[in-house]
Amino acid sequence: MLDIKELRKDPSAFEAKLKTKIPEVDIGPVIALDEKLRAIKTEVEELKSKRNQSSKEIGYRKQKGEDIAAFMAEMGALGDKIAVRDQEAARLESDIHEMLAVLPNLPMDDIPVSPSPKDNVCIKMVGEKPEFPFPFKNHVELNEELRLFDFPRAAKISGSGWPLYRGMGARLEWALLNYMLDTHRANGFTQIMPPLLVRPETMYGSAHLPKFESQLFKIKDEDYHLYLIPTSESALNGMHMDEILEEEHLPLMYTAYTPCFRREAGAAGSQERGLIRTHQFNKVELFCLTAPEDSPRVYEKMLASAEEVLQGLGLHYRNMLLTTGDMSFAAAKTIDIEVWLPGQNRYYEVSSVSNCTDFQARRSQIRFRKKNEKPQFVHTLNGSGLATSRLMVALLENNQQADGSILVPKILHKYLEEEIVAIKPR
């Protein structure tokens, strides 16, 4: 959530920057309500001051034995007026809070300004696209012989857009997850296993509510009102809601594997078939809480840890600095890591590493205390480390052989119980 105090300083400049993310943003109503609220608060302070003076006057006249009935009536009237104004102020504060809750985070100053992802900037390229001396296949076509996934039976169980891994597909997925967790733990991240269902307050704190309500799966009945996590970021952010952390404990660096659930599964075109975009997918998340001055350094550490996974797998990828219009609601800066998928003839995101500054911390009331100073908000950072569905596609499509088999990267051999050099058609 944005700081209303910062918004007041230069509303026009503030709005102009917000419009680079969401062009239709209008902060005029927020400013108008804020001015009204401050006027009421000023009036309440004046009324309370007047009531205090009346109280002193009543005490003085009581001592002199004078009639105080008129003063008591005035005191009562002042009290009634203060109560009415306090109620108005509370309503205005609630309205302002709701308006601020749907405003996005401000982009950092060095972010390319554009509404289009076409203007994202490639800041790094690692490896090269593979060349195939044979007609290559996409992962759905490869799966016809490999039988790593069973999409028809997944649809039978849950409907379209849900995955079912089987046999070597399930084992390879599990190997990827363990490899990624091992990598991040070695880089100083503490592994967490969070709940998969979280409270509305938790989703609000991570900024997934109220804006993304329609994209979430939820349980709501007489006993429960919970959301299935769209990413473990929401749960990891919720771990420290309403806490004041000590500076010496920062940064807190977490990694977590969870399934993730999203209603929006994308288009049904040929490029979106199979594992490319599903309602449920596996992801290893990176999440950090840090002092503001340390967040650039921690950001680079997160990005490097995510890249290390791809480098170990020998996959060609690129890092893209997102434009203001392509960044997420909560992000102030985002770099997407994209792998090349030959079967789709394009790059696809497997990690999105974002610095959310104090945006989530302000919503979640997560602060830290420097010695002898007032508590201040932490910065939160999140990144996929990585999402496995597209990563699995990248492994299959980039490592396919002429006979339809798949070479398994050497770094995964130890996770497969036996050394499996290649997955072969049955």
Residue 281 has pLDDT above 70, yes or no: yes
Length of the chain: 426
Structural domain total, the chain: 2
Listed residue (328, 349, 117) closest to 233, CA to CA? 328
Q: pLDDT-based confidence at 63, cuts 50/70/90?
A: low
Would 167 be classed as within a structural domain?
Answer: yes
**Segment 283-297, tens digit of pLDDT:** 999 999 999 999 999
Active-site residue flag, 214:
no
**Segment 237-280, tens digit of pLDDT:** 999 999 999 999 999 999 999 999 999 755 444 456 789 889 99
Active-site residue flag, 390:
yes
Q: Which of 171, 233, 234, 277 is catalytic?
A: 277
Mean pLDDT of the chain: 91
Would 76 be classed as within a structural domain?
Answer: yes
User: How many Å apart are CA 286 and CA 354, to the nearest integer?
Assistant: 10
Q: Token pair of 125, please?
A: 């390229």
Which CATH number covers residue 67? Answer: 1.10.287.40
Which CATH number covers residue 254? Answer: 3.30.930.10
Active-site residue flag, 352:
yes
**E strands along 131-265, which residues?**
190-192, 197-198, 218-220, 225-228, 244-246, 252-261
Q: Which of 51, 362, 367, 390 is catalytic?
A: 390
Active-site residue flag, 51:
no
Q: Which of 232, 352, 364, 389 is catalytic?
A: 352
Active-site residue flag, 43:
no
Would 109 be classed as within a structural domain?
Answer: no
Q: Which of 206, 233, 234, 262 is catalytic?
A: 262
Please indicate, yes or no, whether residues 229 and 310 belong to a single structural domain of this protein: yes
Would 154 be classed as within a structural domain?
Answer: yes
Q: Which of 145, 166, 349, 405 is catalytic?
A: 349
User: How many Å apart are CA 104 and CA 18, to the nearest integer?
Assistant: 7
Range of the domain at 345: 117-423
Among 50, 77, 101, identify where a domain stops: 101
